[in-house]
Each structure stands twice: as structure tokens, then as C-alpha cells.
Copies of this chain bind each other. A is one copy, B any other.
Amino acid sequence: MSKSFKIDYQREQRIGFQEVVFGASKNINQLQEIVTDFQKNGKSALITRTQKEKADVLCKKFKPNFYDEVSEMLLIGQFPDDAVEGEIAILSGGTSDQYLVNEVYYSLLYVGRKAKRFQDIGVAGVHRLLDNIDEIRKYKVLVIVAGFEGALPTVVGGLLPQPIIGVPASVGYGVGAGGTVALHSMLTSCANGISVVNIDNGYGAAMAAFRILNSINTQ
């Protein structure tokens, strides 16, 4: 049978970070072949959205590894042990968003950035945000996760000057099912200069933050 993948190992050199694997729609055979290929090339493989059954099979076969059940992030390999702290803050509106907060967190850890998490500070109790605002002000880039009506980036964007990357969470029901309301709300925010990634795309938000830090660090 024709081989179904070609890992892009030159990506890190071109754009600064390694290709990762989207696990949700690959079967276990494909994933095993891919991980083997990564290991042959001496690379850690980060696999996003790896359903638990598949993660169990892979973790049994490949070492070392790390798996977070909440975000379904699987690392075959090791996180760097010299991750830089203090540059990125991840804010989230509610407890239900934790899966996505963690996807951002571990994606950044994989590229050597240890972010700070500020969780459940949604605007229905705006004091929870205001109590943390001076602390949040210290970070260079803000990644803000929110589901339902997704208003958190708007309020933060009116208060703080940093780059803000909104990440809509597919948490909600009724017209809010699937996260489209949060996405659209962030896109139409009356607070300017907020940019957005796809619903549930924690990895993409992490890399957008990484691109910014990269650009800063090459000054």
C-alpha cells in the first residue's frame, strides 16, 4: 500500500517549530508508523487530540511519554527542562474550558515556554478578573480561552495593551453549541486589536504566541 504520510522535518528550520500530529482523525496504525518515523529522526512527537484508547496503546509501546487526559495531549518524548517562564499568560472564562487551557499550556511547553494559567475569571463576576489585572499586565502575550458568549477577550482588550489571541471553546448549548458564538463574538469585539484562532485550536494559539515571542526575541 502507498505510504500515507511525509513528515515535514524541515519545518522547524523554516518557521521555528516542529510539525505536530493531529491525532483525532488518524487510526492507530497510522499513528504508530508516524511515531516510529519521528523516533528514527530523533525527534519528540507531540500528538494533539489523542483519544484515550489510542494514547494507551501508544504509551505502552513508546517511551518516554506524557499524556494529559483533560486535553488529550500526548507527547512521545520529553518536554524541554529549561522552559522559559513569565512571558505568556493563559486566561480562561470557566472551568469547562480547562481542556483547552491545557492544550495551549502543553503546546507551549513543547516549544520551551512555560505559561501562567489564570482560570475561571469570566466576566459574569468581573471582579475575579479585576483582582488579577495587575498581575496579568506583566506578561508579554495573552492567550484568552472562552466558550459561551466569549466576552472575556473584549473586557481584557479594553484594559490591557498586550497582543491578545482569542481561543473560542466549544463549550455551550443551544445557539452556543460548537463554539461558533464565542468565535463570532471575539471576531466582532468592540475592543480592537484582538486576533483569533479556530474553535478549540489551542495548539494554533500557542504557536501564534510563539511566533510573536520569536519575533520579539530576534530583536
Contacts and interface: CB of A to CB of B under 8 A. Distances in A.
B175 A184 contact: yes
What is the total number of copies of this protein in its complex? Answer: 8
Interface in A108-162: 117, 119-128, 140-141, 148-151, 154-155, 157-162
A25 B96 contact: yes
Interface of A: 2-6, 8, 10-11, 14-17, 19-20, 22, 24-27, 30, 34, 49, 70, 93-96, 98, 101, 117, 119-128, 140-141, 148-151, 154-155, 157-165, 168, 170-181, 183-201, 203-208, 210-212, 214-216, 219
A165 B195 contact: yes
Contacts of A196: 187, 195-197
Given A11-B125, A174-B187, A194-B204, 19 more contacts: A10-B127, A11-B124, A25-B171, A26-B96, A34-B95, A123-B155, A123-B190, A124-B158, A126-B126, A126-B158, A151-B190, A155-B155, A173-B201, A174-B188, A176-B198, A187-B196, A187-B201, A193-B206, A195-B195
